[in-house]
Amino acid sequence: MKTAIYPGSFDPVTNGHLDIIRRASTMFDKLIVVVLINPLKSYSFSIPERVGLLSKVTSDIKNIEIDSYDGLLTDYFKQHNVDVIVRGLRATSDFEHEFQMAHTNKDLNPDAETVFIPASANTTFISSSMVKQVAMFGGDLSKYVPTVIHEEISTRLKAEFERQLNRK
Ligand code: ADP
């Protein structure tokens, strides 16, 4: 049995992430999607919110588990008997950072192999930060995030933007 892990911020999950999740779930017996905390980043959605959104958009996928972790990916990898780390690659601009992370993870745990899945042509330009910008200015998110969470994300981000404006 092969278990893969797809780690990320998912702040929030987009159609690009979901595309990688669906494709990876057909390649492995079990796929764990784990929301990780990067202390150097600031987030718009809380961990429970991001886990909740991921659970909603993947409810039809049988061999998936959604989790969160506030430690090193390689520790989670070891504790859960994971075989492979999955990451998505959108463009050469992703490559340098992803390559460095893959090497770091392998250095921390020689068993931690990373597999890169290329973004699909129709989702390659989508990122969580682009979704956030579009939503905050009231733009239509329907092509960028799964329909089932599109309303929730738009409302939540518009409210956050209002709060930010009021603070200025
Ligand atoms: P992180 O903060 O770990 O980069 P993200 O949530 O931004 O977390 O991304 C998680 C993973 O998903 C990364 O490997 C990233 O390259 C990939 N990814 C993000 N957006 C897309 C997309 N549109 N298509 C394919 N992969 C993507």
Annotated active-site residue 128? The verdict is: yes
10 lines ligand 1 (CB under 6 A): yes
Among residues 9, 44, 128, 154, the one annotated as catalytic is 128
- State residue 125's pLDDT score: 95
- State residue 39's pLDDT score: 85
Cβ 13 vs Cβ 53: under 8 Å:
yes
Annotated active-site residue 168? The verdict is: no
Tens digit of each residue's pLDDT (9 = 90 or more) over 29-67: 999 999 999 888 889 999 999 999 999 999 999 999 999
Q: What is the dihedral of CA 94, 96, 101, 104, to 10 degrees?
A: 170
Whether pLDDT at 168 is above 80: no
Residue 8 Cα, ligand 1 centroid: separation in angstroms?
6
- State residue 83's pLDDT score: 97
Distance CA 112, CA 49 (A): 28
Annotated active-site residue 129? The verdict is: no
Annotated active-site residue 41? The verdict is: yes
94 lines ligand 1 (CB under 6 A): yes
Q: In sequence order, which residues have a C-beta less than 8 Å from that of residue 58 and are 6 or more positions away?
A: 18, 21, 33, 64, 66
127 lines ligand 1 (CB under 6 A): yes
105 lines ligand 1 (CB under 6 A): no
| Beta partners for residue 64, in sequence order | 31
Q: Is 92 helix (H, G, I), strand (E, B) or coil?
A: helix
Q: Calculate the alpha carbon distances from 84 to 109, 137, 150 in Å.
A: 12, 38, 30
Tens digit of each residue's pLDDT (9 = 90 or more) over 79-135: 999 999 999 999 888 899 999 999 999 999 999 999 999 999 999 999 999 999 999
Cβ 14 vs Cβ 58: under 8 Å:
no
Residue with CA closest to ligand 1 atom 15: 88
DSSP 40: T
Distance CA 99, CA 69 (A): 22
Domains of the chain with CATH codes: 3-123 (3.40.50.620)
CA 151 from chain centre, in angstroms, equals 19
